[in-house]
Amino acid sequence: MTTPLSPGRGIQSDSSVRAATTAGDNGISSSGSAVAGVCPTTIARPRLSPLPFIYLRNLPYNRSSDLQQLLVDRQIRLRKDREDQRKTTAAAAVAAKANLDSDISFETPMHAPALEEDGRHDLLLLVEHTPTYTNGRRNRGVQAISDQEAARLRRLGATYVESLRGGEITFHGPGQLVAYPILDLKPIKLSVRCYVSYLEKAIIATCAQWGVKAITTDNTGVWINDQKKIAAIGVHVQRYITSHGLALNCNTDLDFFKEIVACGLTGKETTSLARELKSLQIDVGRVIPSFLKGFGSTFNRELVPLTETDPDLERRIQEYVRTGTHSLLDV
C-alpha cells in the first residue's frame, strides 16, 4: 500500500525516502530510493494528456529554481480554477434539478460531467546547468558548509547554492542531463516514495538503452555498482506538485565531484555514461531521446515538445530564462 500525500503539509526526508519522514514547512523534500513499501508496477493512468518537455541549455541554477517555483505555483493556481469550476457546475446542476417543475429554464445539464484531472498542465524541464554546487535541505542554514568552504568551491569556477530539494551537496554542470518534472501526483495516485522509485526506473531504462547496466543500492541515487554512482535524485513536492528531480551524468567533468563528498557518501566515486562506455561521443543532446523514451515508458506518458502543445508557454519560458521577468508566467 502506498502512502498518500496530504495537501498543505510538509514532509522532509533528509537523506533517503527509506528513512522515516518528519514534518516540514511547505512541501515534501526527498532523496534516495524506494525499497520500503510496495509501489504499483504500472502507473494508475486516468486520461492523461501528452507530457510536454522543453530543453534549456546553460541555465544558471538559481534561475532554474525560480522557474520551477513559478511553474509549480501556476499548476496549483490552475488546479484551483478547475476545482472552482467543478463546484460551480455541480451547484448549477443541483439548482436545475430542484427547479425542474418550475417555469425557470436552465441551460446547465442536470448531470454535469466531471472535469478530468488529465495532467494537461504537467511539464518536463530538461536542463544543462552552468557549473554549480548545490546543497539540499538537510544542509541549509546552520547546517550549511562554512563561508570559507563555499568560497573555495567558487574559486573552482562554480557557484554555490542552497536548495529546497532533498539530499546533500552535489554538483551540476555541463555534460549532465538534469530533469525537473513538474507533475501533479494526484491524478496518478502516486506517493512520494513511489514517485522517486519511478524516477530511478526511468534512469535505469535510459542507461540500458546505451548498454549500461544501472542499479539501485541502499544509498541514494542510481549506481553502476556499490562504489560508482551515475545519477542523483532529490525532489520537492508542494501540494502534490513535484519539482526538482534527477541528474544523470552523460559526459560531465567528474573532477568537480572530487572536490566534495557528493551526497554525503564517503568512499564512493562518481561516474558517467561517457566513462562507462569509454566514449568521447556521448553528450546530453544524444542522451535526451533515450531519456524521453525511458521516462515516457516508465510513467506511461507520451512525450512531446512544448512547442507543439503550448507554443505561447514555451515562448514565455524562454523569455523568462532570458530576462527573469516573473510576470511572464502569471497566466
C-beta of residue 199 within 8 angstroms of C-beta of residue 190: no
Single-letter code of the amino acid located at 250: C
Q: Which of 202, 223, 198 is nearest to 213 (CA)?
A: 223
**What are the helix and strand counts (H, E) for the chain?**
7, 14
How many CB atoms are located within 10 Å of the residue 42 CB? 8
| Grid cell listed for 142 | 546552520
State the Cα–Cα distance between residues 196 and 185, nearest whole angstrom.
12
Beta bridge partners, 141, equal none
Nearest in space to 204 (alpha carbons), one of 251, 273, 266, 265: 273
178: which 3 cell numbers?
538534469
Strand 222-223 versus strand 228-238 pairing type: antiparallel
- What are the CA-CA distances from residue 195 to residues 62, 243, 252 (Å)? 24, 12, 26
Catalytic residues: 263
CA separation for the pair 94, 69 (Å, rounded): 37
Residues 6+ apart with CB under 8 A from 315: none
C-alpha distances (whole Å) from 102 to each of 42, 93, 96, 192 are 50, 15, 10, 50
If you count them, how many residues does the chain have? 331
CA nearest 153: which of 20, 255, 296? 255
Phi, psi (degrees; rounded to nearest 5) at 208? -60, -35
